Structure 1
């Protein structure tokens, strides 16, 4: 996989390595998110040992680790019987040479020997800290890395000098990989999400439909079964979690709705949802004006666009896809895709607002998010408490230009958002895939902004 757009992480790793003293770095994040490519790019032109752990017996893991070290120093492989001796051997070598040592898929080692963090603690405390070298632990099992490496109960707690939670690309980052026009770029992102490997599987010389059929709907394609592999990385019994993800992807967003769709009682459901949130597979959202911890108006959504697409269209149609994938795409996916993309478009518009704030093109807001109460919803509301300023925005992924009806609707809903003083400053924005009816902008006050796909593309341009 080609290295893409991890400049901030790469710069931070470079700064850590170039600073004085030792470094003990933890890198983690979901499968396929680009951790290994980041570390390989960082190690380029640096003396390093890169060890990729595998799911195999402990003695074979240890033998291969020792082989890597001996090979790097061009010496005979010593006889070593335990991990404590293995790390002693590494420590002896680091006394004479500044080196980057990467242990990738570290959770595989812990699975075979849960005492490994204790051995590493001794190595860090007694040997690594007296060197100028860097040791990097990397893993795709978020739960294992957070509990066994970063957690309070871990022997390694407090030893790290830096940590990197590598996340999928935002749309702004992903669009540098996606080779489509603005509209199809958003559609494509709504399908692949920001996971670098998923993005690079698409051939952007082919149509979006062709890519979906060949890279997702084909039973031989990598992405056809990808979510199942992802869940098995983290969970021993993923069946109930999969049913929850499918329910949320199909639009059941409140605990009661999810419970009704899955048959899981609300009590146990909360624990499943908490686990999915910890694994970054589901997000909990409350209205932007509400308190995150206290609000009872929470909604859940699948945190990754590809997973949302897969659980919405692939999982429920497995049997049909096996028989006739083209018919599933043409008859089920394509007609419903605008509804799926509309949610992604709202997130893209939020990115535009944040980018505009950072660049000084828009007024500043400290909080930006969705708002709802009862039957009323507003796609984006921004809050600027220090200035008593509030932003109202709607995002329309429709085939027709936006006109007065949306303006009137937003004006009607704005007073229902109870926030700030009576004399608050109100700003309005409309985002539209298909533009606006002629003359609309001229008929609106100065506190209204209208943005088309071209405007969105300009705001997110990194050129």
Structure 2
């Protein structure tokens, strides 16, 4: 598989490797996000020992690790009974410039929770004072944060760097998605930025054919992917799946989720917390509110592919088995624009941040959604130090945006209680289908209008 992007992360690893002294790096992030590919790319031209842990008994895990070390040094495999002995053996063999990677470290901790203590001794007594590099990698974010990065971990304070690997942004994903800008946004609304999902699509084929072949086929990898992911993380995923389906189909507040799933508010809060910990759900509050204090929370599925799957696949599995083409044409295609509209808002928010970075928009320290009662604004940017606010709407519609939306945005701006009465207000409108004739000339310099060509220019991977 082609290795895409990740230049910043590779640069960080390479800088650490070239610096004097030892390195103890931690790489973690959600499953399928590309951690293994990143580390394999980094290790490719360097002397390295790469150990990929598995869900096996502790004895076999340790044996395989020792075998990997012995194989690298062309050594006879020693008989070692404990993990501290395994790390002693590795310490004896460390050579200048060696990279040692343990991938899926949480599998080892699950079998022996003393591993962090053994590694503490290895780092303090054997790695320190060398110019070798040791990397721990894991997909269980909660385990990595508690057992490696957390204050209570024996390894706390030992790391020299860490990478929390994120899915690709839309701009990063454009290196993979070769459709025109409109279809690229539609496609991103299906796959999201997870590299494994992005690279399953053949962008010489239509989006319809990709969805049919890569998602709606019962033999396709992505057909059961969300269920597989949940079963690797949770013993009983049924209720978690029902929550994700509820959120994906528009039930976003705790009360709405409880009503859609039949789960009482007490247990529901625990399920929501777990899904957030797994980075499958995200909690939003209005950008003008305090995240810790606000009670106006909404939830959203954190991954576009999971949102698509729980909206369109999970509830139609029986029909997909019989007639996938009918499901696409009769169920997915008619409501896909509504699904894509949510993704378009995220792409527009990314455009705002890119405009801020380039200096084409004034700086804002916070950018997010705003709502109060029935009133909503898609994007609001706040610059508290300058008493400046940006208010923006995003329209994924087949008709050009007209004057009514401009008037509505002006009216809604008055309802956003933030800053002094003398605050500076800027406005922006993003439109898939452009704008009615003459609208640009009627607006003052506080307004910025973005059509798809403007978004494309801002988020082109080469820009």
TM-score range, shorter chain: over 0.9
Is there any run of 5+ residues in structure 2 with no aligned partner, and where?
none
Q: How does 1:302-381 map to 2 (within 5 A)?
A: 302-381=301-380
Residue number in structure 1 paired with 2:72: 72
Query: Could you tell me how far apart the structure 2 residues matched to 1:31 and 1:384 are?
Result: 35
Cα offset for 1:155?
2.1
CA positional deviation for 1:219: 0.8
SS in 1 for 2:199: helix
What is residue 26 of structure 1 aligned with on the other side?
Answer: 26
Deviation at 1:62, TM superposition (A): 1.5
How far has the Cα of 1:232 moved from its partner?
2.1
Q: What residue number does 2:92 align with?
A: 92
Structure 1 stretches of 4+ with a deviation exceeding 3 A read none
| CA deviation string 1:365-407 (max 9, x = no partner) | 1111111111111111111112211111100000111111111
Of 229-238 and 358-367, deviating more is 229-238
CA displacement at 1:445 relative to structure 2: 1.6
Equivalence map 1:411-450=2 (5 Å): 411-450=410-449
- Contact between 1:87 and 1:119, CA under 8 Å: does it hold in 2? yes
Q: Whole-Å Cα distance in 2 between the matches of residues 420 and 243 of structure 1?
A: 40
Farther-moved stretch of structure 1 (259-268 vs 104-113): 104-113
1:227 aligns with 2:245: no
Stretch moving more, 211-220 or 73-82: 73-82
CA distance in 2, matches of 1:153, 1:385: 36
Report how far residue 130 of structure 1 moved.
2.1
Q: What is the alpha-carbon distance in structure 1 between the residues aligned to residue 344 and residue 426 of structure 2? A: 20
Which runs of 5 or more structure 1 residues have no equivalent in the other structure?
none
Task: Tell me how far 1:432 sits from its aligned partner.
Answer: 0.3
The alpha-carbon deviation at position 288 of structure 1 amounts to: 0.9
Say whether residues 1:196 and 2:195 are aligned partners.
yes
Deviations 1:312-349 (A, max 9, x none): 11111111111111111111111000000000100100
Q: In the alignment, which residue of structure 2 is the partner of 1:8?
A: 8
Give, in whole Å, the separation in 2 of the partners of 1:111 and 1:2. Answer: 32
1:126 alignment partner, SS class: helix
1:238: which partner in 2? 237
- The CA distance in 2 between the partners of 1:371 and 1:399, in whole Å, is 25
Q: What is the CA-CA distance between 1:12 and the residue it aligns to? A: 0.7
Say whether 1:210 aligns with 2:192.
no
The CA deviation at 1:72 is: 0.9
8 Å Cα contact 1:141/1:233 also seen in 2:
no
State the alpha-carbon separation in 2 of the partners of residues 159 and 363 from structure 1.
Answer: 40
- 2:275 paired residue number: 276
TM-score (norm 1): 0.98
Residues 143, 234 of structure 1: 8 Å contact kept:
no
Q: Distance in 2 between matches of 1:446 and 1:98?
A: 57
TM-score (ref. length: structure 2):
0.98
Within the alignment, does 1:35 sit opposite 2:35 as a pair?
yes
- Computed over aligned residues only, the root mean square deviation of the Cα atoms, in angstroms, reads 1.1
Residue 157 of structure 1 deviates from its aligned partner by 2.0
Aligned to 1:386: 385
Distance (whole Å) between structure 1 residues aligned to residue 212 and residue 56 of structure 2: 35
